[in-house]
């Protein structure tokens, strides 16, 4: 797959900076199978490309990424056999692992809403920069799903157990200014100054000593106590269980029908 064949993302490299742009604007850059594949391929290329010294992940239009495209999943005839764990293992976990293990800094440039797996991907990045138009939402609970894509690993390490629990249990939206205060994002800028902020960070990182950055990243990963692979596998297992629940089916139906969900705890 080459840049010319990408249909759901934009990807280019200039002056050592690789820009990966989610580009499904009609669904707020939500993931379908094609996009998860293309994101992984682009990140793998960036990791291997000697000319790439920094990676920026952002979204086209008004959103960063709204998570999973629920419209691409048919649960109208739900029979308890949705295998969400398999989807998480095959589509999202490799992306998270690649972001964390590549020997290059990865920056999430949050131009707009980052929800569900989109929020998780932002949390997995080394740094997060946000426009004041951005919001972060751990939206899994809103449809009766379990957190995945590393959220239960990264959230408590960034904001502490209490705030992580609140975000995962309630699924409340947190704006960029509050996210900076909580430690979820590193810097916030007004929309007119956001691009300049991102480019400043990207330039500084692309000019930094690549080997030293790689070693620092490895050291930080090692210092995170719990093994990420174990956490990702546990999340996939939880998501498998969530995908078999009536509450997940109800959450997705309510979302697509634009009505409040009625959960039964089953």
Q: What is the pLDDT of residues 36-60, one digit of tens each?
A: 999 999 999 999 999 999 999 999 9
At residue 223, φ and ψ (nearest 5 deg) are -80, -5
- Residue 110 vs residue 5, higher pLDDT: 110
Report the C-alpha gap between 174 and 203 in whole angstroms: 28
pLDDT mean across residues, the chain: 91
Q: Within a 10 A sphere around the Cβ of 58, how many other Cβ atoms?
A: 24
pLDDT at 97: 96
Banded pLDDT at 3 (limits 50, 70, 90): low
Share of the chain above pLDDT 90, in %: 70
Banded pLDDT at 13 (limits 50, 70, 90): very high
pLDDT at 266: 81
Q: Per-residue pLDDT averaged across 65-78, rounded?
A: 74
pLDDT at 1: 57
Does residue 74 have a pLDDT over 60? Answer: no
Banded pLDDT at 230 (limits 50, 70, 90): confident
Q: Within a 10 A sphere around the Cβ of 41, how many other Cβ atoms?
A: 17
Report the C-alpha gap between 11 and 51 in whole angstroms: 14
Does residue 261 have a pLDDT over 60? Answer: yes
pLDDT at 222: 82
pLDDT at 80: 58
């Amino acid at each position: 797959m080459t840049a010319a064949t990408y249909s759901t993302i934009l990807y280019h490299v200039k002056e050592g900076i690789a820009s990966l742009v989610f580009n499904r604007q009609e669904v707020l850059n939500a993931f379908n199978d094609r996009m998860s594949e293309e994101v992984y391929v682009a990140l793998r290329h960036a990791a291997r490309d000697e000319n790439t010294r920094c990676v920026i992940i952002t979204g086209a239009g008004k959103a960063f990424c709204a998570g999973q495209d629920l419209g691409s999943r048919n649960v109208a005839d739900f029979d308890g056999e949705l295998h969400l764990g398999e989807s998480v293992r095959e589509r999202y976990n490799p992306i998270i692992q690649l972001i964390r293990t590549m020997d290059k800094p990865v920056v999430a440039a949050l131009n707009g809403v980052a929800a569900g797996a989109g929020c998780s991907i932002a949390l997995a990045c080394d740094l997060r920069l946000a426009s004041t138009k951005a919001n972060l939402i751990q939206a899994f609970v809103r449809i009766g799903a379990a957190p995945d894509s590393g959220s239960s690993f990264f959230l408590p390490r960034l904001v502490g157990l209490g705030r992580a629990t609140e975000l995962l249990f309630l699924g409340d939206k947190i704006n960029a200014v509050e996210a900076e205060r909580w430690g979820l994002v590193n810097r916030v800028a007004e929309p007119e100054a956001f691009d300049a902020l991102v480019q400043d960070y990207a330039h500084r990182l692309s000019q930094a000593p690549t080997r030293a950055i790689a070693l620092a990243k490895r050291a930080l990963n090692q210092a995170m106590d719990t093994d990420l692979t174990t956490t990702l596998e546990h999340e996939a297992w939880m998501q498998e269980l969530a995908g078999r629940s009536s509450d997940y089916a109800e959450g997705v139906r309510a979302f697509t029908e634009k009505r409040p969900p009625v959960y039964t705890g089953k």
